[in-house]
Structure 1
């Protein structure tokens, strides 16, 4: 294994795996820290964790365990992947995990670049944009678990890390890899280990990747991996070969737990011509909805790729959180989706589409997934995936990703052979 990656949620990890596959690497995504050794043909391993909203100490512990396993596989470089909207609280977990990984690896300069131009995430003068809006004006300020109220990533990260935060401005990035490398070294000399690096497009990310060729640790959104495969290819380390991914036959179902603008639009589009079942906070908390009842409904619409969703608007979500408690409510809904996913697989549903990072983590838990092979891209950042050794294909979508017709495309993609 050449590149060892640690993701802080399951959708973001599949996003990263998708980027690396497009770069020509043979990639496997692991759901949690594996127990045995990786297959010898794996060039990039992505250990998907669910640490984004865990207590900081637990997130650090799990991330270090993933790092230890990846080191045992012989990885030459490591990547810590987080969301391209830098989802975190003022206490973490991005800064504390990055600090812990850097300490373990002895890394004295670490790139921080939550950029993914294909989905409109860019960074300029240290400020994160979503399309033409600053991060805090994009809807992320209303995120139920990690509200992002400050677009200055330098300032936000400084609240999470034990050191000072550096910055490589766009005027250095646009000059290419040598200029980026010199700027990183200047920041390192000034005692700044975590260094925010501006980027506006894929050309910038390729240049940053080239500048990072000899760094032990890189951090960022999936876009930061755009330029990394070429470093290994130029050294003759990547074995080019055909993709062996295959789709799955069988009934399909869509599970949506994200409340993002993009997902709510996707829900509205899909439910116009597919059966749909809404899971409300009141129904879950008062015992009116459980996995068995939803499964019975799904079975009655099994041939129509039905939708089960809990994707309310921010006002409704906020009122429910006030009534029941944000963490209690989130855990109850996640547990329902986890239980439902396991029952759906047992009932023969071979294609499962999941929307939302926390929801997808619950779905992965309920399905008991361990290892995923990466297939074709459905929309930017979202690949089709197949569970190793099982007749089961999944798509795990970040809440903000995907075109309005994503769900229909995903259902079809999971059944297609390439």
Structure 2
């Protein structure tokens, strides 16, 4: 494998947003774009070991807003305010931007963007360059996608790029029965799951009420108090404006922004709300309020175990690729106790010291890379192409002996299954 220089990532990216002046890009939460220019920290395999297998989970690339309803909410509300002369100068600027872009975004809710396709083509090319010994051997690639079009298109872009840059033999599939692997936190795919196990809404609403100055924000946009009163859900409207701005970087209109509608403090608060929501729904939760949702990551981890056993037993060089969603990725990071993702905190205000959704970007990814010297197998974990550690003690640097890691993962899956079954 090509040697990659060790570069220590700037401490800036390890600090919570509250510990630094606001970086608006990082404050875009899970709607932030993958940073292809960021320095990477990658440890070379011990002498004599070469890559033989990769098990990969990738989030879909950049997409439009999650729903068409969000575009409709912003457009209809601001159009009505514009028509009744209820907007301030700042409000008119926001309206001008949204009215310009609305025809391009209308009906595109949750669609993968062109930039999202580029992200996955680029990640595939980088994978080929990072593991020349693996891709030079014409490996077999098995790719599976969530049934969502944005994931299917991400898989297509990734695999098309693999085919261009290697001689890999690629098989792609979309299988509805595999959805528990991609969205184990949805009750329709996992009947035992209950969203009420994670009581996050009250925490989020309380945080918004305490930290977001609604009066200052809405006076900045609307000069008529009567119009503001017509907004049914003030938190939802503010969040949707924030989401709109956060998503622009992944569209053909990345040079546009409505960020001027928010102060830095307001932008940070809306990021914090998203971070809190994700932590309470996909992380372990606050002390004494364990979020049982994390246990459902066992579905994804069990698939990783099953496929690894099958693929390693084949004696072939293989890759197993999965294309899914941020929720399952976040659950898996928490479940596997990757770096600080597996930690709990004592109160809401401490969440961003261990959990930063800005690192789960569009096209974010997690993979296990397997190496062999012909006798033994070592494995390392990478998040966004950087080496990471799990709670298990490594055998060598960041590398785990496969037998040890397999037991660690199997024990976690068994414990999670018992915990879930005992609840029900």
Q: Which has the higher strand share?
A: 1
The TM-score normalised by the length of structure 1 is 0.30
Give the structure, 1 or 2, with the largest relative contact order (CA under 8 Å, sep 6 or more): 2
Larger Rg belongs to:
2
